Each structure stands twice: as C-alpha cells, then as structure tokens.
C-alpha cells in the first residue's frame, strides 16, 4: 500500500513538473519566445484578447428535470384473516444460527398435535433476528429460521401445505434494549395460527 502511495506521489510530481513545463512553454510561445522569461512569477501576458475570440453568447443551456410524482402502490393486500398468537412458545435460536435445538422437541410435538386435532388450521411461522446483523442477511436468516421450524413440523407429520413461513428480519423485535438478554429473545421463530375467516 505504502509503495503504491509513494509511486502515486512520484507520478504526481512528474505530472506537476510536466504541467509547469507545458504552461511555461506555451507562455514563451505567446510572448514570442523571450529568452529571459523563465521566472515563476511571470507578469500576465501582454496579449490583448481579440474581440472575435470573446465567445459570442450561444443559446443558454436550458435546465430541465424529469418530473417525479408520487405513485400509489396498487396491490396493497387486505389484512389477513383472523389469527391466534401466543398459543405456543417462541423457538429461540443461537446467534447467527438456524438449527432448532433439541430442547424444543416437546413444543414441536405440541404444535404437531394441535394441527392434527384442528384439521382446518394453517400456521404462519415468522422468522426474526436480533438487530446486530445487516438488513438483507437478517431477512434471509429469519427466513431460514422459519423454514427450519417448518421442516421440523413436517418431519412430525404436519402437511407442508398447511405451514406458511415469513421473515421479518430485525424489523419486529419483541425487546428493544441493546443487551444480550434482549437479543436472545429477538432471535426467534414465532408461531401464529391462521384461522379461516367465518369458520
């Protein structure tokens, strides 16, 4: 790195020397090659500006701008049908991980049993992250956490078609402090039961 900087510096010096040479040379040309004119503080050239060289005012440049108007988003979907939350405990994950820990086996069995009993119910599993990651990666991580819980439930016999997943990344924390305790609570998969409206 140092070497490159030094090289660039040298290059720059060469450039300045060249530029000065060019300027001096053109100055000498203008003043009819005066031999003594090699002074750094040379007087302004005694050449009068010829009238025709003063640029005749061209048409002024017209400044324009592409107009930007607000656009209403059309396909904002109606709110989802009624849902039940907090029937099941959140599944918590280790930092930057998305494997469902063995300790959640009982909770998973509970969810599976509920789904067998309520054959019309569907689930939405929301994946969440703590705030420390970057936006897009956190959304992918939340997605992967929701998917891991879904896979677990499918392995217990819940039909895949009855489980939706969605990631909210770091956007919906349950705990807002910047502490390990809070971050632990936020790294979660949250299980929501979607009940069909009118049933």
Partner 1 sequence: MLAIHFWLSGAAEAKIYIDITSPSAKKLPIAIYDLQGPYGKEISEIIRDDLTFTGLFVYIDKASYIEDPAQAYNPGNWRPLGIEAVVKGSVGVTKELTVTLNLYDTFEIRPILSKQYQAEKELIRQMAHNIANDIYTALTNAPGIFRTKIAFVAEDDGEKGIYLMDWDGQRVRKLGLKGTLVLSPHWSSDGSKIFYSSERGRQWGLYLLDFLRMSEKRVFVSRGTNMAGDFFPQGDRVMFSSSKDGTPDLFILSLKDSSLKKLTSSYGIEVSPSVSPDGDYITFVSDRGGSPQLYLMRSDGSDTRRVTFEGSYNTSPSWSPKGDRIVFSCRRGKNQICMVKPDGSELVQLTEQGNNEDPSFSPDGRYITFTSDREGKQGVYIMRANGEAQRRISPKGLRSSGPRWSPN
Contacting residues toward partner 1, per CB under 8 A: 1, 5, 8-9, 11-12, 15-16, 22-23, 25-27, 29, 41, 43-45, 47, 49, 53-55, 57-66, 68-80, 96, 124, 132-137, 139-144, 147, 164-169, 171
- Return the bridge partners of 163, or none: 123
Pick 73 or 117: Cβ nearer partner 1 = 73
Tell me the angle at which helices 105-117 and 135-155 cross, rounded to the nearest 10 degrees: 70
Least Cβ distance, residue 197 to partner 1 (angstroms): 14
Pick 7 or 105: Cβ nearer partner 1 = 7
Pick 74 or 199: Cβ nearer partner 1 = 74
| 198 SS3 class | coil
Nearest residue to 85 via CA among 198, 199, 188: 188
Pick 169 or 173: Cβ nearer partner 1 = 169
**Residue 33, φ and ψ in degrees, nearest 5:** 55, 45
Contact 150, 106 (CB under 8 A): no
Least Cβ distance, residue 42 to partner 1 (angstroms): 9
């Amino acid at each position: 790195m140092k070497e490159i900087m030094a090289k660039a510096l040298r290059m720059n010096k060469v450039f300045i020397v060249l530029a000065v040479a060019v300027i001096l040379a053109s100055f000498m040309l203008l003043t009819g090659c005066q031999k003594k004119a090699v002074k750094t503080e040379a007087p302004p050239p005694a050449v009068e500006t010829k009238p025709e060289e003063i640029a005749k005012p061209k048409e002024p440049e017209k400044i324009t701008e592409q107009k930007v108007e607000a656009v209403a988003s059309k396909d904002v979907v109606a709110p989802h049908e009624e849902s039940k939350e907090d029937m099941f405990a959140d599944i918590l994950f280790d930092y930057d991980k998305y494997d469902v820990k063995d300790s959640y086996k009982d909770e998973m069995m509970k969810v599976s049993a509920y789904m067998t009993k309520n054959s019309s119910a569907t689930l939405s599993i929301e994946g969440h992250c703590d705030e420390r990651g970057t936006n897009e990666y956190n959304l992918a991580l939340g997605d992967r956490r929701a998917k891991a819980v879904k896979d677990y439930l499918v392995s217990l016999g819940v039909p895949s078609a009855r489980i939706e997943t969605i990631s909210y990344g770091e956007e919906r924390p349950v705990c807002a402090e910047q502490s390990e305790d809070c971050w632990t609570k936020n790294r979660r998969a949250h299980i929501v039961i979607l009940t069909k409206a009118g049933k």
